Every structure is written in structure tokens, then in C-alpha cells.
Copies of this chain bind each other. A is one copy, B any other.
Amino acid sequence: MTDRDVDVLSKAPLFEALDEQGAKALRANVAEVRLARGQTLFNEGETGDRLYVVLEGKIKLTRTSPDGRENLLSVLGPGEMFGELSLFDPRPRTASAVAVTECRLAGLGHDDLRPWLTGHPEVAVHLLRALAQRLRRTNDVMADLVFTDVPGRVAKALLDLAERFGQPSDVGLHVHHDLTQEELAQLVGASRETVNKALADFAARGWLRIEARAVVILDVERLRKRSR
């Protein structure tokens, strides 16, 4: 594990609560996992009690409806944690995890983590806070599904991705989200075609430029306005 990895890990809610010594001890238990683009880490319905933190690359969490349609819960980048639900609540996974780009993950098993939860209350409290934040975010997304139209949701999704993966440049805010328009559509709960049209419309207005698996946001303010 590189220094950079250690740095990324320390930003995850799980490690935030630990002092240098504790973090070091916990790090000793992580198993590193590497995935190629498109490779799946685990599938909906499987049992599993491992939690992961993204070290490098991007992972998507997806659900499949009975009739085979897909729904993208979220896209996670470096420092973000997932898979913890099955750890706190021992049930089959309710989502699949698939690599959006080549990526490296830090994995921690139930047995490695349990002593930290029971022996270090600060850790549990930090995790409670992290889950509470997630619940809030999820409720926000739900409200958007009900109240906001597809272009609005696309705008919001882009801004969210920009916040986490965006890189400012002289020409605009470069968001290399690595998602196909199909995946973007699954993320906002719409069809690929309507998402495409929304993007084309934004581009025609000069708010952004479309690139392969990326957009360059030219007018953040307009986009933000459209998202509400």
C-alpha cells in the first residue's frame, strides 16, 4: 500500500475516528483488490460481509429489477466506502458492485472489523454519522425523482459528479465521469434517449460540452438553476 493509498483511506469515515496508531493497526487487516473495467466485485443476492473503500478508480453500485432493467444507485470514487450494509445487517447484498474504470479497493472483513466496533465507540459513532448522512442524501434523491423532470435530474447528477470528480481547467470544469449515457440514464432513472436529448439541449445552450464519457461544464450557474 502506497503513501497515497494511506492518505485516501484516512479520509474514509471508517478511519476518520482513529488515531495514527489505530489506523495503522486496522490497515494491517485490509486486503487489496484489483478490478478491470466492467469486472464485478459482488452480485446482488450473494452473501458477503466485507466492506470496501475505493483506493483508485470508480465503482458503480447497481440494482436489477425483476424484469432485468438496471438502476444505478451511485458511483463511488477514491475515499468512498461501500458494502457496509451487509456488515452491519447480515443479509444478502442488495446491490451489485461493478468497476466503471480499472480500479483498486481496500477490503475489510467482518471479523477484522468487529473488535473495532465494540472496543472503540468513536468508530461506531462515526459510522452512525456516515450512515445518517447517506440516508439524508438518499432521501434527497428520492424527492428529486418525484418532483424534478429528467433534464433537471441530469443537471443535478452532473453537478454532483462534478463536485466529486471535476477538475477545473482554463476552458471549464472538466468532469471525467467515465459513464456511458446509458449508465447516466440508469443513474437518474430515465431512458438513455431522453438523457441524450437533455445533454444535447444543454450543449446547444452553451452550458456544457459533451465528450466521450465526460462533459466539460461551461456554465455551472445556469446548470445549477436548471437542476432546481
Contact = CB atoms under 8 A, between A and B. Distances in A.
B65 A132 contact: no
Interface string A141-183: 1110111000000000000000000000000000000000000
Interface residues of A, number: 41
Contact of A66 (B94, B95, B141, B228): B228
A128 B127 contact: yes
A139 interface: yes
Contacts of A133: 89
Interface stretch (A23-31, A32-40, A118-126, A198-206): A118-126
A63 interface: yes
A222 interface: no
A129 interface: yes
Please tell me how many copies of the chain the complex holds: 2
A189 B118 CA distance: 40
A-B residue pairs, 8 tightest by C-beta: A124-B124, A89-B132, A146-B189, A88-B132, A118-B121, A88-B128, A131-B131, A85-B132
A5 B11 CA distance: 43
Most buried by B among A85, A94, A139: A139
Interface in A90-118: 91, 94-95, 117-118
Given A71-B142, A118-B122, A142-B145, 10 more contacts: A71-B146, A85-B132, A89-B128, A89-B132, A91-B136, A118-B125, A119-B121, A121-B121, A124-B125, A146-B189
A138 interface: yes
Contacts of A67: 147
A73 B141 CA distance: 12
A117 B121 contact: yes
Contacts of A146: 71, 145, 189
A208 B129 CA distance: 42
A112 B88 CA distance: 24
